[in-house]
Structure formats: structure tokens, C-alpha cells
Structure 1
């Protein structure tokens, strides 16, 4: 039986992390960020500030022969007043790329949202905890621990019954992806089962996931972060947040897309760049935003409140967004053969919706994430896809 003296404690350092753009040393430990500090200073609201600090796609990567591993962490969990608290976030441990064990960290801070419309909230302090993984396979192995995709996670220390060495960097192409809450992983069962994580596994690439719940709004600081981040292939999934926040009209949208892509191209002039339009979402196909929560029937759903007649005046819908993106990419492709377009309905369309409807009206369920990830891998990383090696 192990005693406390059998454990080797390893500080968590940035060279153990994958899928992040920046780290912050807090009073408790190391906090991964998915936007760099200059971008974070320009974030205009708490929703994006929280989303970028939630480590979707961020994972620890190391080599070890340990069969028992513990990770001390301080999570910050989000709850909505009036709704049951969600289950604790899951930590996925992969051995040589296979999901082998899962754990949770109880306790932690609680970010309690008191009003969904204004996003006003209260922060309640709580203790750190430990994710424990035991009975792992013997022998040398590559370990990844994927962090909960919807819990801000401050990493404190690793303990193990054998030495840990950071995994060597390089060897696989880096896929840099930006999108909305669906890319972030809303309703995914666990962190390595968001659709980008599943697609990355199929495609054999290293994922850097800049999917931000409610935050895919063509922000220039996000484009600059992507411009400056290393990447071998890049995708941007644009549209749903622009519509459901009613953030702009068609006159502003098209130039904003061009500007976003121009900025990325400043740092990646010839990198394969894929523009992806929204998946099917009947709530917003032909009805403008803004989107508001609908609490009818005892469960949270969403509804669009705009007037379809105002499309003629430039109000945006998903149909308008798709037409505009397809036209923009066609224009740009005349001088940029490495820019490509994918209609999001090829990832999740009418047939998928009939089989796997959106539980809250806008986000896929866990099976929907698998469907989108598989379709993306086939269409984009597969033979004749724009990211095929």
C-alpha cells in the first residue's frame, strides 16, 4: 500500500500544457488561457472573459510509467440561479490516445449567475480538490489529461508513483480553430468529446480550440491572437453568435469578415484556411435575433425575437450569413487558393436534426457532437479535404 512518501510531486509548468495561448500564475497555481494577455485586456464583457479562461481543448501532456496519478486543482464552476447545479466537470485521462480514466474535482469556487439576460453574477469562494486516477497500465506511456471544458481550472500540482516528464513538442500538425459555444463544447459529455476534440483525434492533429461560448463575434483581438499563434491549418466557424446577439447588420458583417480574415492572413499568408458557416438551427434560419432564454416546459430553451420582415433592411439570419460567407470566400479564392468554404449544414443538417434534435434549440447533444466531429473529420481531414496532408 502506498504512503505519502511514495508519491513524487511535480509542479505544473507551461511546458506540460497543450491547447493554450497563455498562462497566468495565480495565488493558487497555473491558470491556462485561450487568449493572450493583450487580447484579454480588450475583452468587453464577463461572458467572454469567463469563456476564454474555461480550458476547452487544454490538456496536460507528459510521459510516465506511473500507474497512479493525482492532480490538485482549483475549479471555478458556473451555476444559474433557479436551476439545478450541473454535475462537476470531468477530467479525461488518455493513455496513448485512448480514453482510459475519468475523474472530477469536488468543491471549488462557484460563479453564480443571477440574471441570464444581464449576466450579473456572484462569486463564492471554495477549496481546491484532487482528481485521482489509479490502476493505469504499467510501463512507459504518453498521458494526456484533458481539463473540464466548462470549468475555469487553476492547476496546482501533480503527484504520481513514478517520475513525470513533459511530452516532447512537435510531431503533429497544429489545428487552430475558432467558433462559438458549439465549438466550445456546450452539451458535450466530457472534454475529449467536444466535436473539435473528436475531429482532431480523427485527423491526427494537435488542437488549439478558440471556441468561446457566446464570443464568436469577429472581434479584432481574437483575429490578432490567431494571427500570432503557430498553426499548420486554421478554421473559423462564423455566424451564429452574430445573429443571436443581433450584433450587426449585413452592411457591417461582410467587411468585418474580410477584416477578420485579412488579419489572420497577416501571420499565415498561405496556411490552409477554412471558413465554416453555421450548422442547421431552425430557431434562427430565417428569424433575426436577439436570442433570449425561454423557460417554458420546465427546461431551458432559446427563441429568436427578431422580425423576419426586417431581413430586407439588413437584419441577419443564418440563411443570410451562409450566402454572404460563401460569396466572400468565392471572392477571396480568386487570389488565395488556400482559402476554402464549408457549409455548416454538411456537418449537421436536416437529416441530422431529424435524428438528433437540438435539446435547447441551438446546441447539439453528446451524440450531435460526435456526428459533427465525424463529419468534419471526413470532409476536412479526409481524402480531398482542405486539411488533408
Structure 2
């Protein structure tokens, strides 16, 4: 469907404004256009971490949504592509086109900026590049709802939207809004495309509108993230906590429990009755009983294989160092304690999404992140466990 014929002879140019976007919490005006963010500006002012800055600007779950009769759509964007020193080139970020809710095309944008990352030196260098054009043609000449899901793993400035018929914001759908926070797994690391990250799949199956605050490497119980969850209108909220706390070796058990309580307290300040689901980590064998930090193994990087290893010592658990098994026990204890007075608080063991039996069939390629098939498995399971039957989100809203 991404073709070079049927050029737009008299294009309709539509300004890209917040009412054409879903899944973004802020739009930054840039020299080229607008940059969607998944954290508001006040939150971005409260940290100086390059990893989180990169992650929150990657538009996982962010999509353009509009109604039109257009048969040709062109979108100029300025992506920022990542290049890892010593590794083969990464695949281009994918844009998913949905027409009336169904996948109708996929394409990438050439050009763009390049962020060169040297993992051994711990440095990043940004090189400017040209704006590129995404093009979908031969669309049906009928009124239709269009969604263009932006690459979940590629920072994307939106420059200009052109069509061969007028565009209007997509009509509001009678759907609940699901607000989710998690790590790189929720962000979509190693998923095949933006609509096939496990949260996007679960949202589609559950019939809800997704706001995805999954931040690679940055689900760290940050207070500004809790306040963002508190202040963002939503009918359903979930937080998936644990793996980043371990692989960053961020805190000990003494600090972890109160930090979780504080995170939940903050959310409840603004959303006292909203169904709130706490999800513990999925299985990650290297950190089940071995504390962090995690460290990359570069020995096979030139062939495109990056592995992670656990650097902690299991004996350090006695001094309060965290493992995933310890975190699951603590999260289950906290939710059980709080749910006595908070009937809308729920717990889901992440191993129900990906557990021991799955590890044999779908091993984690780099020892931490699931592959595309596992994202699909997790999305289908979450939808069943959360949105159906007696699930935390089944027929509930706050």
C-alpha cells in the first residue's frame, strides 16, 4: 500500500495538533514540527538521565488518529535512529497503518537523525539528518478512521501531514482509557511493530484506549512518574515494577517497600477508586535469585547478539539486595496489606504472563527481553487475565 503513484496534485495540509494524537501526554514545538512526549514537561525537568530522556521520547503507543476520505496520506517525519558502535545496523522503525481498526499497511521512513551509542565507553553522539516521508496510497475512497502508530522504539518528530481529502480528528470512541507503566518490556523492546507490543495487543483485545508509559530501563519508582499517573485521566491503571530496580541495583529491600507504598499513595491521591493493578516481573532466569546489577556481554556484539549477565552474588540477598523472587514476595505482601482498605487494588504475578514453561519454548534472546512471539503471548494472556472473567479490569472503572 506504500506506493509511489497517485501523487497528490492538490494536497490538503493539516496542522499536527494534540487533537490528532492519542497516547502522548505532551507536544514539544521543535524547529521542524512537533515532538510527542510520554512524560509532561514538568516531569522532564526533574531528571537529567539520558536513558529516560531517550525512552520517554520514543512514542510507544502514540498514534495519529483522524477521519478522512483520503486515498493518499503523506506524513513527513524526522526520526532519530540508533546506531550501536560495533554492532550491525538496526532495522528501520516501523509505522503501522490501521484503517477502521484493521492493519492495512506498514512502512518506514528513511533519513533522519542518528544517535550513535558506544556502550563500552558509555557515550552518545547525535548527528543531524534530513526529514523523510511516509506514504500510504490506494486507500479506499470512503469515510474511514485512520490510525498511524509511530515506531515504538524511534524518537519521531512530526513535521507535516498531507492528504488528498480533508482530515478531521477521529470521533471519540466509547472506550475506557488504560494507563500502563512499566519497563523496556512494556515499552516494546524486541516487539515486531508498534501495534504488536504486548500492551498494544492487550489493549486491542480488551477494547480499550492505551496510554503506554513503559520506559526502557526506567521503571524505577520515580516520584514524578507516580504524579504523572495520578494526574492523567484514566479508567484503568496498571504498574509493572521490578526488573529495572534489580538490573540497575537501585535500592535494597529496606527502601523498596516504602518506595512502592509511596508510589501507590501518590496515585491514590488523584485516583482513589480507579482499578489499579500491580504486576510483578515476568520470569527472568538470570535475576530470579541473583541480584543485580545487570551488565552487557559484548563478546558476540559484532554478529548482532547482545547478552546480559547478572553481576550480583546470591549471598547478598541476606544483606537486603533485591532479586525478582524477593520483589514478587514484597509486592504480593504490599497489595494484600493495602487491599484490605483498598478494594480496587489488585495483584498479578508476572510469571502468569511469561513463566518457567514458557522459558523453555520461548527463551529470552538476550536473557532479559522477550522476542516478538513472546510479546504476542504476553498480550493475549494479559487481556484474558485482566479484561475477562474476574480480572482486575473486567467491567470496572473508577
TM-score, with structure 1 as normaliser: 0.98
Determine the structure 1 residue equivalent to 2:110.
Answer: 106
How big is the shift at 1:355?
Answer: 1.1
Task: Please state how far the C-alpha of 1:57 moved relative to its aligned partner.
Answer: 0.2
Match of 1:71 in 2: 75
Q: 1:288 aligns with which of 283, 288, 291?
A: 291
Contact (CA 8 Å) 1:117, 1:292: kept in 2 or not? no
Secondary structure of the corresponding residue to residue 283 of structure 1: helix
Q: CA deviation at 1:8?
A: 1.4
Map of 1:139 onto structure 2: 142
Secondary structure of the structure 1 residue equivalent to 2:268? helix
Aligned to 2:166: 163
Q: Which moved more, 1:160-169 or 1:326-335?
A: 160-169
Look up the match of 2:182: 179
Give the gaps of 5 or more residues in structure 2.
none
CA RMSD of aligned residues (A): 1.1
| 2:281 pairs with 1:275 | no
Unaligned runs of 5+ in 1: none
Structure 1 range deviating more: 107-116 or 66-75:
107-116
* Partners of 1:31 and 1:153 within 8 A in 2: yes
Which residue in the other structure is 1:266 paired with?
269
- 8 Å Cα contact 2:291-2:310 kept in structure 1: yes
Measured in 2, the distance between the counterparts of 1:288 and 1:242 equals 10
Alignment of 1:222-237 (within 5 A): 222-237=225-240
- Report SS of the residue matched to 2:286: coil
Contact 2:74 2:135 (8 Å CA) reproduced: yes
Partner Cα separation in structure 2 for residue 49 and residue 75 of structure 1: 15
Q: Superposition pairs for residues 1-389 of structure 1, below 5 Å? A: 2-116=6-120, 118=122, 120-297=123-300, 298=303, 299-389=305-395
Mapped partners of 1:228, 1:322: distance in 2? 27
Cα distance in 1 for partners of 2:103, 2:76 equals 20
2: CA distance between counterparts of 1:4 and 1:145? Answer: 19
Shift of 1:3: 5.0
User: Could you tell which deviates more after superposition, 289-298 or 47-56?
Assistant: 289-298
Which secondary structure does the structure 1 equivalent of 2:96 belong to? strand
Per-residue CA distance 1:99-133 (angstroms, 9 max, x = gap): 10111110100011123563x20000000101111
Q: C-alpha separation between the residues in 2 aligned to 1:117 and 1:256?
A: 32
Matched residue SS, 2:156? strand
Distance 1:383 1:67 in 2: 41
Q: What TM-score do you get using the length of structure 2 for normalisation?
A: 0.96
- CA–CA separation in structure 2 for the residues paired with 1:115 and 1:276: 30
Corresponding residue SS for 1:155 = strand
